[in-house]
């Protein structure tokens, strides 16, 4: 199993973590934006009119309305990435990461417009009478690339577990346990039953539920966020300035935050942008294919709104909460994760400018770095180190008030700890102290800096529950449509049953392996989809022009 995990990490580095992937993703959106003459701007107003049902026709085929197709797709994209993902992007890439999320969303509005239109155009009615669509259908029916369609569908099934199911359940259970103290198995079991009741009813029930959950969770989250933003109104201007300024200068090594290079902020921002709004991944077109309309382009118009709502609105709000509250560059008491922790040779402090710059170069793998990882032993007495000649870094900051414990009772450790290449060898030692924090923990802390005080963290927990649960609902539909393509309608019910049981299991399990597998599967979905829509660029342009000409003739004032 360890060898398989290493293989997945290698593939993830070659694909999703590769330097060229953000350029391919952003470049495709840029190309279609210019090629189709900025449809995200030209048709923005029209998209809102379509989603309200203004131009609906009762005779149109489909399983759900424009609005419910939109909320189903949004429930798949508005998830933990909007809470923890933005915080993680800022933590890794600094404020500039938020700018690149905006860029990804702006150009992603066009990418999603194209992929949804083409997927809806080549959808089919299955043997059970429901609609099935997605990139696999245009790859098969239009491009005659059956092998590519099969690969995409398999990757979609894998991602439905790795993206929409297991991590969501795990995040919900961990958040509810830390906030309210409920047992993860109980939480997973209750939500598993609710999930089953929703998804066993198919797209009609899924769309009905998501049409209620999405507006509710957005409202709750917005209220909590505004409470922080208005409490820190004087910091909003500087927050925006830091986002724009860091695009050109890179995140500086200031305070506890050791920053990131311009290239790193770009990479993190674009990647988190994709994980947030999924533009180009090919997942949302599966939900939109169920919409009742005879005009594929009109459903493409609706999808323009997704990256706008998901990233430009919700992710921006999260980013402003984090930046304006100032907690993103302050040290807080926490337990150190081994993946965030490194021990370097020499004594450094982040209050000294030269030390900060040296550590900045080391963390960002710059050629100018003179810092080396520590190798040797550390003597610990009653949980405190009495050794010198090393510095413990955690979460891109110099750790303070470090304590070493072991066992379930957190007994203070006394003895020697071996360090090899900057990492502790003993796995049963718990290291804690003050350092920067990231992900959902950072967002939760930021929400306590508003009118609601400490109660603000409950809004994040409730928001995380609703966001993550709705994501699990939407991805179950993506997976069952992929199963329909691969093995037919009879495979859907077994898939749904396994999906529900996996959701319960993940509440109390380590999903690291599955998350890595999903990261690879996401790229296997995205690259074929981007290739496919590029090959059909001329058809897309003709379809848009024809739709708009016909629309203007039909609705002459």
Q: pLDDT tens track of the chain, all 557 residues?
A: 555 556 555 655 555 556 777 788 889 999 999 999 999 999 999 999 888 877 777 767 766 777 777 777 777 667 777 787 788 778 777 788 888 888 888 999 999 999 999 999 999 888 877 788 899 999 999 999 999 999 999 989 988 988 788 888 887 887 788 778 888 889 889 989 988 888 887 777 787 787 787 788 888 888 999 999 999 999 888 888 888 877 766 555 444 555 555 665 666 566 676 666 778 888 889 988 888 888 899 989 989 998 898 888 888 999 999 999 988 888 999 888 887 889 999 998 888 888 888 888 888 777 888 889 999 999 999 999 999 999 999 988 899 999 999 866 678 989 999 999 988 887 788 899 999 888 878 888 899 998 888 888 888 888 888 888 888 888 998 999 999 999 988 899 999 999 999 999 888 876 556 656 666 777 778 888 999 999 999 999 999 999 999 888 887 75
pLDDT given at position 149: 93
Tell me which residue of 159, 115, 161 sits closest to 138, measured CA to CA: 115
pLDDT given at position 253: 45
Separation CA 504–CA 165 (nearest Å): 9
pLDDT given at position 3: 56
Contacts of 522 (CB under 8 A, 6+ apart): 16, 155, 159, 163, 274, 275, 281
In angstroms, how far apart are the furthest CA atoms of the chain?
A: 84
The Cα angle at residue 422 between residues 416 and 426, in degrees rounded to 5: 40
Asked if 291 and 64 count as a contact pair (C-beta separation under 8 A), the reply is yes
Separation CA 461–CA 215 (nearest Å): 17
Asked if 67 and 53 count as a contact pair (C-beta separation under 8 A), the reply is yes
pLDDT given at position 35: 97
| End-to-end CA gap in the chain | 66
The residues pairing with 385 across neighbouring beta strands, listed in sequence order, are 380
pLDDT given at position 384: 93
pLDDT given at position 15: 58
The residues pairing with 419 across neighbouring beta strands, listed in sequence order, are 376, 424
Asked if 434 and 332 count as a contact pair (C-beta separation under 8 A), the reply is yes
* Two tokens, residue 140: 């098969």
Tell me which residue of 302, 278, 288, 300 sits closest to 539, measured CA to CA: 300
Separation CA 13–CA 73 (nearest Å): 28
SS3 state of residue 127: coil
Asked if 431 and 384 count as a contact pair (C-beta separation under 8 A), the reply is no
Asked if 76 and 283 count as a contact pair (C-beta separation under 8 A), the reply is yes
* Two tokens, residue 319: 């980013």
pLDDT given at position 344: 92
Asked if 371 and 345 count as a contact pair (C-beta separation under 8 A), the reply is yes
Contacts of 530 (CB under 8 A, 6+ apart): 24, 25, 28, 111, 280
Q: What is the helix (H) or strand (E) element at residue 514, kind and residue range?
A: helix 512-535
Beta strands in 352-397 (DSSP E): 376-381, 384-385, 390-394
Cα dihedral 422→5→271→502 (10° resolution): -130
Asked if 306 and 73 count as a contact pair (C-beta separation under 8 A), the reply is yes
Tell me which residue of 435, 258, 478 sits closest to 336, measured CA to CA: 435
Asked if 89 and 266 count as a contact pair (C-beta separation under 8 A), the reply is no
Contacts of 467 (CB under 8 A, 6+ apart): 78, 79, 80, 82, 83, 217, 221
HEC letters along 80-95: HHHHHHHHHHHHHHCC
The residues pairing with 333 across neighbouring beta strands, listed in sequence order, are 434
Per the listing, tokens 């800022």 go with: 90
Contacts of 453 (CB under 8 A, 6+ apart): none
Separation CA 372–CA 233 (nearest Å): 42
* Two tokens, residue 67: 């609005």
Separation CA 503–CA 191 (nearest Å): 8
- Between the alpha carbon of residue 218 and those of residues 44, 88, 141, 382, the distances in Å are 21, 20, 37, 47
């Amino acid at each position: 199993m360890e060898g398989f995990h290493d293989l997945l990490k290698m593939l993830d580095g070659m694909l999703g973590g590769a330097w060229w992937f953000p350029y391919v993703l952003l470049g495709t959106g840029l190309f279609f934006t210019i090629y189709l003459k900025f449809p995200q701007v030209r048709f923005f107003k029209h998209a809102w009119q379509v989603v309200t049902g203004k131009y609906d026709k009762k005779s149109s085929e489909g399983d759900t309305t424009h609005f419910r197709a939109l909320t189903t797709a949004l429930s798949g994209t508005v998830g933990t990435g909007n809470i923890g993902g933005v915080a993680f992007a800022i933590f890794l890439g600094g404020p500039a990461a938020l700018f690149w999320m905006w860029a990804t969303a702006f150009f992603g509005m066009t990418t999603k417009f194209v992929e949804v239109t083409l997927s809806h155009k080549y959808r089919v009615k299955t043997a059970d009478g429901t609609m099935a669509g997605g990139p696999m259908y245009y790859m098969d029916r239009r491009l005659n690339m059956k092998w590519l369609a099969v690969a995409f569908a398999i990757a979609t099934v894998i991602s439905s577990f790795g993206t929409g199911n297991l991590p969501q359940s795990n995040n919900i259970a961990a958040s509810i346990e830390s906030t309210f103290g409920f047992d993860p198995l109980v939480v997973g079991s209750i939500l598993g039953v609710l999930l089953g009741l929703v998804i066993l009813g198919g797209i009609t029930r899924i769309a009905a539920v998501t049409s209620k959950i999405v507006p509710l969770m957005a409202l709750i989250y917005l209220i909590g966020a505004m409470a922080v933003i208005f409490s820190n109104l004087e910091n909003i201007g500087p927050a925006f300035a830091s986002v724009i300024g860091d695009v050109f200068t890179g995140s500086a090594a200031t305070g506890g935050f050791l920053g990131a290079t311009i290239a790193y902020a770009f990479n993190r921002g674009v990647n988190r942008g994709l994980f947030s709004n999924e533009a180009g991944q090919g997942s949302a077109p599966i939900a939109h294919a169920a919409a009742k309309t005879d005009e594929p382009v009109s459903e493409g118009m609706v999808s323009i709104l997704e990256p706008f709502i998901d990233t430009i609105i919700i992710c921006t709000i999260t980013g402003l909460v984090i930046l304006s509250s100032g907690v993103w560059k302050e040290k807080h008491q926490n337990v150190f994760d081994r993946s965030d922790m490194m021990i370097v040779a020499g004594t450094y402090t982040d209050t000294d400018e030269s030390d900060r710059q040296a550590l900045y170069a080391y963390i960002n793998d710059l050629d100018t770095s003179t810092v080396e990882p520590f190798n040797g032993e550390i003597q610990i007495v009653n949980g405190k180190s009495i050794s010198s000649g090393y510095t413990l870094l955690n979460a891109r900051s110099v750790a303070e008030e470090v304590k070493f414990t072991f066992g379930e009772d957190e007994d203070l450790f006394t003895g020697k700890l071996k360090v090899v290449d900057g990492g502790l060898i003993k796995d049963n030692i718990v290291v804690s102290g003050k350092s920067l924090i990231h992900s959902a923990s950072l967002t939760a802390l930021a929400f306590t800096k508003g009118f609601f005080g400490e109660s603000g963290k409950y809004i994040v927990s409730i928001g995380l529950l609703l966001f993550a649960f709705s994501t699990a609902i939407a991805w179950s539909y993506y997976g069952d449509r992929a199963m329909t393509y691969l093995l037919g309608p009879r495979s859907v019910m077994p898939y749904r049953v396994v999906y529900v049981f996996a959701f319960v299991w993940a509440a109390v399990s380590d999903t690291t392996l599955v998350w890595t597998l999903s990261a690879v599967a996401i790229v296997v979905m995205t690259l074929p989809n981007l290739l496919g829509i590029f090959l059909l660029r001329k058809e897309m342009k003709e379809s848009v022009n024809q739709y708009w000409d016909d629309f203007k003739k039909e609705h002459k004032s």
